[in-house]
Amino acid sequence: MINVAIVGVSGFTGLELVRILLHHNKFHINYVSNSTGGQSLAQIHPELHGVLDMAVSKTSIEDIADKSQLVFLAVPHQTAMSIVPKLLQKGLKIVDLSADYRLDVATYETAYCPHTDQTNLPYATYGLPEFYSKDIAATSLVANPGCYPTASLLGLMPFVPYIKPNTPVFIDAKSGVSGAGKKLNATTSYMHIQENSFAYNPLAHRHSYEITYILKNLTQQSWDINFVPHILPVSRGMLTSIYVQLDQTIDPNKILKEYYKADRFIRIRTSPPTIKETSHTNFCDIFVATKGQNLFINTSIDNLSRGASSQAVVNANIMYGLDERLGV
């Protein structure tokens, strides 16, 4: 068994990591922490009463190193890059669920804030296994992708060769409320969300930088990504509806099947995917349709699973040479 630490266990993705790892037969949860410590896991997440009621420590690099070989960081951006250098020095493997190691310095600083660990940034690997599995297998630091970029990139990549040059890509994304995190605010109160839906940060969300940057990395070309996320009145789950213009007529299902023929976590659907059908799984369901040379790509993932915690565990599996599906 490989001992595992979950840092930032109080949030939604922390809880999701606990749930997944409880049934993983190679990774053993040996340390959980948050910024304050002093409570038990079941005090923070009452559903864990009688399931796993260990103490939640105040995060300490020494303790993490003593108790674990593999660390999941489920902490906010900025916090992650303040911890990662020390954990790497201790020789630990890390899957970082924050944004801190997903971008290059320039893009990161445009989208977020000054980057304080430029030393390790170039050595991190973007943890989207369909595209980077070899790199993931070789690294000690995986930058686990954002939820929107995961759902968008998995939909777009098969069709890159057919997209008409110099046309915009429109990504209309819809996410459950858990994507906003656990911090209280009026926007995510029940009274605001119930029977409601709305766009937020249209054309200006941080994840549009991540989509654009990674897509450029994967394709060696520039992209005009227009990304508008919306809140859905559901707890979890995510849809993207992607609209692109092609430079030829294509058989999109044939292309999709060929592209993902070896990938176990992609399901090609013959009708539009639903949020529920990928709920609590690592699947990305994809549906495609065309009207002339316009292409509609429709993907569904669970924002807390494929968009965060189950993808993190898949990445850890790959880092340790295990079957990527273990425990997921």
122 to 161, contacts with a second copy by CB under 8 A? Answer: none
The site string for a second copy over 193-222 (x = CB under 8 A, - otherwise) reads: xxxxxxxx-xxx------------------
291 contributes a contact to a second copy by CB under 8 A:
yes
294 contributes a contact to a second copy by CB under 8 A:
yes
Q: Measured from the CB atom, is 1 or 138 closer to a second copy?
A: 1
Q: Measured from the CB atom, is 57 or 279 closer to a second copy?
A: 279
115 contributes a contact to a second copy by CB under 8 A:
no
Pairing of strands 169-175, 266-268: unpaired
Residues 6+ apart with CB under 8 A from 161: none
Distance of CA 206 to the CA centre of its chain: 14
191 contributes a contact to a second copy by CB under 8 A:
yes
Among residues 192, 216, 255, 326, the one that binds a second copy under rule CB under 8 A: 192
243 contributes a contact to a second copy by CB under 8 A:
yes
Q: Measured from the CB atom, is 119 or 274 closer to a second copy?
A: 274
The site string for a second copy over 29-68 (x = CB under 8 A, - otherwise) reads: -----------------xx-xxx-----------------
Which residue type is seen at 136? I
> In this structure, are residues 238 and 146 in contact, taking their beta carbons and an 8 Å threshold?
no
Would you call 147 a catalytic residue per the annotation? yes
Exactly one of 147, 211, 228, 297 is catalytic; name it. Answer: 147
Backbone φ, ψ for residue 205 (5° rounding): -75, 145
According to DSSP, the residues that pair with 263 across neighbouring strands are none
Euclidean distance between CA atoms 174 and 240, whole angstroms: 6
DSSP three-state, residue 245: strand
Rg (CA), the chain: 19
Euclidean distance between CA atoms 7 and 64, whole angstroms: 9
Among residues 137, 277, 320, 326, the one that binds a second copy under rule CB under 8 A: 277
| Residues assigned a catalytic role | 147
